[in-house]
Chains A and B, each alone.
Chain A
Amino acid sequence: MKELIKELTEAYGPSGREETVRKVIEDKIKPMVDKMEVDSLGNLIARKKGPGKRVMLAAHMDELGLMVTYIDKNGFLRFSNVGGISPHILLGERVVFANGAVGTIGCEKIESMKDLNFQKLYIDIGASEQKEAEDQVKIGDIAVYQRGFQDLGRRIISKSLDDRVGCAVLIQALKEIESPVNDLFFVFTVQEEVGVRGARTSAYRIKPDYGLAVDVTRTGDTPESETMAVALGKGPTVKVKDTLIITHPKVKKIMVDAAERTGIPYQLEVLERGGTDSGAIHLSREGVPSGVMSIPCRYIHTPSEMVDYDDVLNGVKLLKSILETPLD
């Protein structure tokens, strides 16, 4: 799966501009699904028919970005964030636009790091005047982190593992499930990072009986980190609660039972700040019992996110085991 994760994470796809990632996924899953469509917001909805309940699986395609808001006479670009980015991690960072234009992020003179904010930062794409910059980049264009996939053996570092690793888990499960027990809708969603938007409209369209998001979650296993009972390498998580959802007890039981039945390591997850697509799915129409399976991930929303490859492989196994459960 590492090749797949590499291809997905290195693709360009900030919120609202997911088409490159979508194309990669479409090509991979087309032979394996019964029906595939793209809705009006750009969600990719792939159905693998089965006799049981309608189950919506969601992994978001979008990543964080920086949108150009102004180009000055010397060709420097001002920007604002698309999704939750801290200005501190941008210092010295390289970014790339959809057309391949690359820039580095510079900072105005500041007295103290406390004064650092987006207004002090700019992107330098190597242009020396406005016209030269505008030939490459327009106002409203979005840049993403320029960082390659790095295989450390057991662990992986890359940009946008949030949530391309979730996309990879869905694709892999889709490949391995031949005749599903339930009626499966694999949804690769848009605009999660700006407010779980794609999941909301796709859930309305699908009318699922159950919802499950596959996303990343933070960990508490790094030096002096905030307390959190999730660590890398101890298995995918069964979410209990985050800011947007309280996992439906029935769904939590299905997930835990699936893990224990097949002997897959798992962790229970309570995320104090943050939410995923399930936050939108479970409130769709009359309500949808929903949950989340997370892949533990360090340094989320930075250019170098880290996951444990065993957690990814176990994530695929757990997802398959969940989906093999006869649901009522």
Chain B
Amino acid sequence: MLLKTLSESSGVSGGEQEIRNIIRQQVSPHVEEAETDVLGNLIVRKKGEKEGPTLMIVTHMDEVGMIVVGFEKSGLIKFSKVGGIDDRVLVSKVVQIGPQKIPGVIGAKAIHLQKPEERKKSIKIDDMYIDIGAGSREEAEKKVKLGDYISFITRFEEIGDHCAKGKALDNRVGCAVLIEILKKQNYPYSFYGVFTVQEEVGMRGAGAAAYRIKPDLALVVEGTTAADVVEVKKEGHVTTLGKGPALTIMDASVITHRGMVQFLKKLAEQNGIPYQIRRFTGAGTDAGRIALTREGVPSAVVSVPCRYIHNPAGILNLKDMENTVKLVDAFLKNLPEGGFNNEGTD
């Protein structure tokens, strides 16, 4: 399955070559143009039956990960985080480093060597290292370079009831949705598909892409937090697995365009597509940058709920992904010729 390939590929923020090449191969036969801009965004143009409003559908390719910052004499490798990762999830994870995908293990002092008070505290990243089995600094440097990116090794699998587990579901699920859309034919209007870079370090690619394209409207496809787990009270769930794509009203980066959100809701209802409202106003997406580009761009966000994002392994519901494809498909088929005005109504 496409999502498996995407999830298992590497593409830490700033090092998106591998994932970009895979996406380019997937979409090239189905689009009119495909080019990579200076920051590394992959911008493709899908030809429709005619020209309508300038629309960009945006999804980020990058994932959170780590980067090599130093070597110990012993050959152990020091590293830093790229994007938001909880230090506590790192210890003893299996990772791959650099273009050669050198395998390694994130190590730390083992339990029998820790003093009783050390066992009570979580280990900080400064006390961790990556072990690639090298016997000396020189040997390590033959395989790994300073600045090489590091990603988790997690096998993607379909599990349970229509679910899948894997790494980087935020946002390879968004990539999978947009690729599926680009493979379809006969949309009424042409549009841009944009696979952005560096979202996880501050939505950097999206601003540049939007500045270049000058869109009349933008739809961002994301993987968002689902906190529907035992220790969280219902009011803190944000989104729920299996209840369909989530629509954002507001997060820390954007207040979405009300007309577009109403339109998406109406389409979902007319087409029997389940949807939910994202019940949280924190965090941000590429829409935050796009909406404020140039004179402003009406923007909306459709997200696939994912549990345990920014971790070595997350879980999503594949039906949510399918329903997200359906909703974006319906959006493109029914897009009003004049776009959306600024008088969105309830």
A36-67 residues with Cβ-Cβ distance < 8 A to B are 38-43, 67
Per the bound structure, the CA–CA distance linking A140 and B249 in Å amounts to: 6
Asked whether A197 lies within 8 Å of B279 as measured between CB atoms, the reply is no
Structural contact, B279 and A41, CB atoms closer than 8 A: no
A139 within 8 A of B: yes
Bound CA–CA A69/B342 (angstroms): 24
Tally B residues with Cβ within 8 Å of A.
25
Q: Name B342's contact: one of A42, A204, A205 (CB within 8 Å).
A: A42
Q: Which one of A43, A191, A200 lies within 8 Å of B255 (CB-CB)? A: A191
Do B297 and A40 have beta carbons less than 8 Å apart?
Answer: yes
A158 close to B (CB within 8 Å): no
Hey, which chain A residues are within 8 Å of B295, CB to CB?
Answer: 39-40, 201-202, 204-205
Q: Which residues of B contact A41 (CB under 8 A)?
A: 291, 296, 342
Those of B278-334 within 8 Å (CB) of chain A: 279-282, 291-298
Binds B, one of A75-83, A161-169, A210-218, A318-326: A75-83
B343 on the A face (CB < 8 A): yes
> Using Cβ atoms and an 8 Å threshold, which residues of chain A touch B280?
69, 80
Which parts of B202-236 form the interface with A (CB within 8 Å)?
234-236
- On chain A, the number of residues with a Cβ less than 8 Å from chain B's Cβ atoms is 32
Chain A 170-210 interface 0/1 with B at a Cβ cutoff of 8 Å (1 = within): 00000000000000000000010010011011101100000
Asked if residues A139 and B296 are in contact (CB atoms below 8 Å), the reply is no
The answer on a CB contact under 8 Å between B294 and A204 is: yes
B250 an interface residue at 8 Å Cβ cutoff? Answer: yes
Residues of B within 8 A of A139 (CB): 249, 277, 279
> Contact between A38 and B236 (Cβ–Cβ < 8 Å)?
no
In contact, A70 and B279 (Cβ under 8 angstroms): yes
Interface centre among B255, B294, B295, B298 (most CB of A within 10 A): B255
**Across the interface, do B346 and A40 meet the contact criterion of CB distance under 8 Å?**
no
Of the residues A19, A42, A67, A205, contact of B250 by C-beta under 8 Å: A67
- Give B219 Cβ to nearest chain A Cβ, in Å: 15
> Please, how many angstroms separate the alpha-carbon atoms of A67 and B8 in the complex?
38
A72 within 8 A of B: yes
Contact partner of A15 among B255, B292, B342, B346, CB < 8 A?
B255
Q: How far is the CA of A78 from the CA of B294 in the complex (A)?
A: 35
Q: Which of the listed residues A38, A40, A41, A194 has the most CB atoms from chain B within 10 Å of its own CB?
A: A40
Interface residue? A222 (CB, 8 A): no
Question: Are A194's CB and B343's CB within 8 A?
Answer: no
Residues in chain A near residue B298, CB distance under 8 A: 40
Question: A271 in the interface, Cβ–Cβ < 8 Å?
Answer: no
Q: How far is the CA of A289 from the CA of B282 in the complex (A)?
A: 33
Asked if A127 lies at the interface with its beta carbon under 8 angstroms from chain B, I say: no
> What distance in Å separates the Cβ of B210 from its nearest Cβ neighbour in chain A?
12
Least distance between B134 CB and chain A CB atoms (Å): 46
Query: CA separation between A138 and B277, bound complex, in Å?
Result: 10
Q: State the CA gap A201–B250 with chains docked (Å).
A: 18
Enumerate A92-115 residues with CB–CB distance to B below 8 Å. Answer: 98
CB–CB B235/A39 < 8 A: no
CB neighbours of B258 from chain A (8 A)? 16-17
Closest chain-A Cβ to B206's Cβ sits at a distance in Å of 15
Please give, as numbers and ranges, the residues of chain A lying within 8 Å of B346 by CB-CB distance: 98
Q: Is the CB–CB distance between A201 and B236 below 8 Å?
A: no
CB-based contact B250/A78 at 8 Å: no
A119 at the interface (CB under 8 A from B): yes
> A39 is contacted by which of B234, B255, B257, B296 (Cβ under 8 Å)?
B296
Is there an interface contact between A201 and B235, defined as CB atoms closer than 8 Å? no
In the docked arrangement, what's the CA distance between A19 and B346, Å?
A: 12
- Nearest Cβ on chain B to A90's Cβ, whole angstroms: 16
Closest to A68 in B: B279
Most buried by B among A39, A201, A202: A201
Q: Which of A140, A198, A202, A205 has the most CB of B within 10 A?
A: A140
On chain A, the residues within 8 Å of B257 by CB distance are 40
Give Cα A42–Cα B258 distance, bound, in whole angstroms: 11
Q: CB distance B281 to A40 under 8 Å?
A: no
Contact call B342/A39, Cβ cutoff below 8 A: yes
Q: Does the CB pair B249–A67 fall under 8 Å?
A: yes
In Å, the complex CA distance between A191 and B343 comes to 15
- For the complex, give the distance between the alpha carbons of A202 and B342 in Å: 14
Other contacts beyond A81-B281, A138-B277: 4, CB < 8 A: A15-B255, A38-B342, A70-B279, A119-B236
6 pairs of residues in contact across A and B, judged by CB atoms under 8 Å? A39-B342, A41-B291, A41-B342, A119-B235, A119-B236, A201-B292
A residues touching B (Cβ–Cβ < 8 Å)?
15-17, 19, 38-43, 67, 69-70, 72, 78, 80-82, 98, 119, 138-140, 191, 194, 197-198, 200-202, 204-205
The 5 closest A-B pairs by CB, nearest first: A201-B296, A16-B255, A140-B249, A70-B235, A78-B235
